[in-house]
Structure 1
Amino acid sequence: MQLSLFTLYTIGLGTLAVAAVMTIWERHFNSERARELTFWTIGYAIMGLGCALLLGRPTLPMVVSQGVTNILIVSGYLLLLAGAMPFVGVRLPRTVLVISCVVGVIWLFVGPLLSYAAWSAVGSFFIAIPCFTLALMLVLNGTTGTTRSWVLASVVFGLHGMVYLARVVVIPFAYSLNQQGVLDSVALFTMFEGVLFSMAAPMALLSLTREESRHLLLRASQTDFLTGLDNRRAFTQRATPVIAAHSADAGSAPLLVLFDLDNFKQINDRYGHESGDQVLTIFARVAKDVLSQEDCVARMGGEEFAALLVGRDLATAQQLLRTIAARFTVEVLAETAVTRHVTFSAGLVAVGTDDTLRSLMTTADRLLYRAKQAGRNRVETELDPPLPGEEETEVPAYPARAATG
């Protein structure tokens, strides 16, 4: 069976209609990207309308067949671009919309006056621009997001843009040589590629939203809801490879800190759980502010926190912990109903070459227990002398010990 332009246009209309339905259906389940999905739905619908008008081009006035049709199709591509740009953190500038409207009005009068070659070349150029823009933005920003779907979308739109950029050169050249056979072949190939694009583009764009949703769900499963810090699972995943990769170079050992807020149960009992939650969030905020982005900070559960410090010596780490303690106390008094000085105790241990996260947590937990026994509001390290009788005291391996308060 030999495909005709009419058949390909009809298939293209069908795939664009399906794309619009699929996208508006996705919108019901993704309220976070409702705006972007709406843009894509309208874009497919407008492009489909433009294709429908092209089917009746021989019987339509020139202002419609060579003016309105191009405006509709190019507008559809611009809407696809506008919907995709927020995924890289930007929005389509209003100036682009204004310029597009002005160019569209001019095109209504100029388009019908052009020859077929000039009309096709200019129309192809305006289709290639948003395609290349979208592909380029995804390529340049792919390292910051869900890159598998970004690569797929950039390839789909990049190849589609190349096809239409080739039309800008090939059609005027073939037209000048009166090669009607070449022109017919180009039209047939373009429409065949357009049908493939109308199937691939919706899949690629929807994959952006779905992979982003999976990424957000994964991040939510690794984040403590109250404080916004990593939870125990995320801390384990981040800290384990750092500890495993540790070398024996002097001064380069990461440091593990285990924090526990002092007398936290009394805060909840006296001031209420809302104040207790405020104390937890303030500690999380202060710890993140004082420590660097390279450090792993997490809420392990209840009033217990952990941090893996990278590139710090013991003295520097102790100074950072003193800074956290001072700011924490001041900000709790300033921002909550708590009128007592709130403190924390901590165990600080350097990572050895044979250590695992579990062994380090057990050691840090033992040091934290020592800090609690020594009166709280202090940081204990392995270099500090043990308390009297500590050698005979058995401390359960982490995390069996309950919070001491």
Structure 2
Amino acid sequence: MPLSLPTLFAVGLGTLAVAAVMTFWERRFNAERARELMCWTVGYILMAIGCGIFLGRASLPLIVVQGVTNILMVGGYWLLLLGAMPFVGVRLPRKTLVFALMAATVWLLIGPNLSYAIWSAVGSFFITIPCFALALMLVLNGTTGPTRSWVLAAVVFGLHGMVYLARVVVIPFAYSLNQDGVLDAIALFTMFEGVVFSMAAPMALLSLTREESRHQLLRASQTDFLTGLDNRRAFTQRATPVIAERTEELEPAPLLVLFDLDNFKQINDDYGHDAGDQVLKIFGRVARSIFGPQDCVARMGGEEFAALLIGREHDEAKQLLRAVSARFAVEVLAETAITRHVTFSAGLVAVRPGDTLRALMTTADHLLYRAKQAGRNRVETDLDVAPAPASVVADDDEPHARPTLARVASRSA
């Protein structure tokens, strides 16, 4: 079969039809992105219809060939952009649709009356905009998502946009020189590149969707479903390299804290498991808000939590623990039916050169046990510091006063 425009348009129609079917089928496996996938599906369908109209252009009126066809093709590109926007948290304003309908109406009125050069340049320009917009959007936001597929999509749409941008400049120039051979060559090259794009774009966009799904599944496997904190697996993966890189030059030393909520079984027995779940959620939320983004906070299981504090001095760590204790107690009283003060005990250890996470967890667990044995609502630490003074405990006649950790005990390293 000779390489000609009708042949390439026929191939493009076929590849776009396949892309529409594949993208529509993907909705069965990705309900969260069903709207975006449907947007892409409709875009491919519009472009395929445009290719079909071109194949029968000899028997069709000019308003269809140079009006409707352009609207379908350009509309398809804009739908691809519209479907990609939610991946980076961007949405077109509603009034954009009104503008699009107005632009389509104007194009139907003036498009068929334009010369080939102007008609082709204007149509190419309106294809260039969504291609470059999609590529730029993915490049600027690629660090927040599954980067490999985002880069692939950005390259595909960026190169396609460059081809059509070149048409905006080259076609009017070649037309002014009456170079029909050059115009034919440009049209043939553009359509050949368009066929390649019709295969590459769906692959890139579906890759983007699937990689996002894999990223979400991976994150779900590393997240505690109740509190939204990291689970034990994620904590181990994040904390292990930090501990392995500990050297004498790294000061202040990372600090590992192991928490256990006091009398949690009694809370479940007296108030029910729903109340216990609320307590766990509140502790996770409070700990995450008080510790910084550089700190690793996780639920290790049951009522046990852990945190690896990075770049914290000993005194600062103790202040943060007191802040967690105070806010936790207040928010439990405010948000649950529990009328008693809910506290926690903790073991705090400093990471020293040669330590392993397993050894540190064992030490922290031993200190946590000591805190429980010493009366609960306290932190035992292996830091070589003087004990902190006892804090004020809420009076019986002030049930909503904020209790803090009773004391921060220490032992020589």
Normalised-by-shorter TM-score class: over 0.9
Q: Give the partner amino acid of 1:268.
A: N
Output aligned runs, 1:177-326, within 5 Å: 177-249=177-249, 251-326=251-326
Give the whole-Å Cα distance in 2 for the aligned partners of 1:273 and 1:384: 39
Give the whole-Å Cα distance in 2 for the aligned partners of 1:127 and 1:335: 54
Q: For the Cα contact (< 8 Å) 2:121–2:168, is it kept in 1?
A: yes
Q: Closer, same or farther in 2 for the Cα pair 1:166/1:250, shift >3 Å? A: closer
Q: Give the partner amino acid of 2:50.
A: G
Q: Give the partner amino acid of 1:300.
A: M
> What is residue 21 of structure 1 aligned with on the other side?
21
Give the whole-Å Cα distance in 1 for the aligned partners of 2:43 and 2:251: 58
**2:386 is equivalent to residue 365 of structure 1:** no
Segment of structure 1 superposing worse, 366-375 or 50-59:
50-59
Q: Closer, same or farther in 2 for the Cα pair 1:10/1:383, shift >3 Å? A: closer
Give the whole-Å Cα distance in 1 for the aligned partners of 2:116 and 2:326: 76
Aligned residues: 385
Give the whole-Å Cα distance in 1 for the aligned partners of 2:206 and 2:234: 28
Q: Give the partner amino acid of 1:375.
A: G
Give the whole-Å Cα distance in 2 for the aligned partners of 1:218 and 1:257: 26
Query: Residue 178 of structure 2 aligns to a residue in which SS?
Result: coil
Give the whole-Å Cα distance in 2 for the aligned partners of 1:95 and 1:196: 33
User: 5+ unaligned residues in a row in structure 1: which ranges?
Assistant: 386-405
Give the whole-Å Cα distance in 1 for the aligned partners of 2:251 and 2:134: 47
Give the whole-Å Cα distance in 2 for the aligned partners of 1:92 and 1:244: 47
Give the whole-Å Cα distance in 1 for the aligned partners of 2:129 and 2:381: 61
Deviation at 1:384, TM superposition (A): 7.0
Deviation at 1:2, TM superposition (A): 2.5
In the TM superposition, what whole-angstrom CA distance separates every residue of 1:335-357 from its partner, at most 9, and x where no partner exists?
Answer: 11222211110000111011111
Q: Give the partner amino acid of 1:75.
A: G
> What is residue 78 of structure 1 aligned with on the other side?
78
> What is residue 124 of structure 2 aligned with on the other side?
124
> What is residue 163 of structure 1 aligned with on the other side?
163
In the TM superposition, what whole-angstrom CA distance separates every residue of 1:281-319 from its partner, at most 9, and x where no partner exists?
Answer: 111111111111111000000000000111111111111
RMSD: 1.2
Q: Give the partner amino acid of 1:56.
A: G
User: 5+ unaligned residues in a row in structure 2: which ranges?
Assistant: 386-413
Q: For the Cα contact (< 8 Å) 2:224–2:299, is it kept in 1?
A: yes
Give the whole-Å Cα distance in 2 for the aligned partners of 1:232 and 1:14: 49
Runs of 4+ with >4 A deviation:
none
> What is residue 393 of structure 2 aligned with on the other side?
none
Q: Give the partner amino acid of 1:327.
A: R
Query: Residue 225 of structure 1 aligns to a residue in which SS?
Result: coil
Query: Residue 323 of structure 2 aligns to a residue in which SS?
Result: helix
> What is residue 107 of structure 1 aligned with on the other side?
107
Query: Residue 260 of structure 2 aligns to a residue in which SS?
Result: strand
Give the whole-Å Cα distance in 2 for the aligned partners of 1:75 and 1:92: 14
Q: Give the partner amino acid of 1:84.
A: A
TM-score by length of 1: 0.93
Q: For the Cα contact (< 8 Å) 2:350–2:383, is it kept in 1?
A: no
TM-score by length of 2: 0.91
Give the whole-Å Cα distance in 2 for the aligned partners of 1:371 and 1:204: 55
Give the whole-Å Cα distance in 2 for the aligned partners of 1:250 and 1:33: 44
Q: For the Cα contact (< 8 Å) 2:349–2:383, is it kept in 1?
A: no
In the TM superposition, what whole-angstrom CA distance separates every residue of 1:336-382 from its partner, at most 9, and x where no partner exists?
Answer: 12222111100001110111111111111111111111111100011
Deviation at 1:25, TM superposition (A): 0.3
Q: For the Cα contact (< 8 Å) 2:246–2:354, is it kept in 1?
A: no
**2:149 is equivalent to residue 149 of structure 1:** yes
Give the whole-Å Cα distance in 1 for the aligned partners of 2:127 and 2:290: 50
> What is residue 46 of structure 1 aligned with on the other side?
46
**2:334 is equivalent to residue 334 of structure 1:** yes
Query: Residue 229 of structure 1 aligns to a residue in which SS?
Result: coil
